[in-house]
Chain A
Amino acid sequence: MTPHPRLALALAAGPLLLLAACGGGADGAPADVAGGSGHVKITITDDGCSAEPATVPAGAATFDVVNEGATAVTEAELVNSGGRIVGERENLTPGLTGTFSLQLEAGDYTVQCPNAATESSAFTVSGAAPASTEDPLFAAATRGYQDYVKAQVADLVTATGAFAAAVEAGDVERAKALYGPARTPYERVEPVAESFGDLDPRIDARVADVADPATWTGFHRLEQALWVTGSTEGMAPVAQQLVADVAELNTLVQTTTYQPADLANGASALLDEVASSKVTGEEEAYSHVDLLDFGANVEGSREAFDLLTPALQVTDPDLVTTISARFDDVTTALAPFRQGEGYVLYTQLTQDQVRDLASAVDALAEPLSQVSGKVVGAANA
Chain B
Amino acid sequence: MNQSPETFDTNAIQALNDRQLRAALLNLASTFGERRKLAILSVNDWEGLRAQARSIKDETLANLDQYLEQFVLKAENNGAQIHWALNGEAAQRLILDLLKEKNVRRIVKSKSMTTEEIHLNEALERAGYAPVETDLGEWIIQLAHETPSHIVVPAIHKSKRQIAELFVEKVGIEPTDNVDELTKTARRVLRERFAEADVGISGVNFAVAETGTFLILENEGNARLTTSLPKIHIAVMGIEKVIPRLADLDVFLKLLPRSGTGQQLTAYQSLITGAKRQPDDEGPEEVHLVILDNGRSRMLAHPVTRQSLACIRCGACLNACPVYQQIGGHAYGSVYPGPIGAVITPQLSGIEKARQLPFASSLCGACREVCPVKIDIPELLLHLRAEVKQGAASRAASQTGKVSKHRIERLAFRFYAFAWSKKLTYEWGMKIARVFQRSIARKGRIGKVSGLFAGLAPALEAWTDWRDAPTIAERSFREVWREAEKTKGK
Partners in one complex: no
A positions within 8 Å CB-CB of B: none
B positions within 8 Å CB-CB of A: none
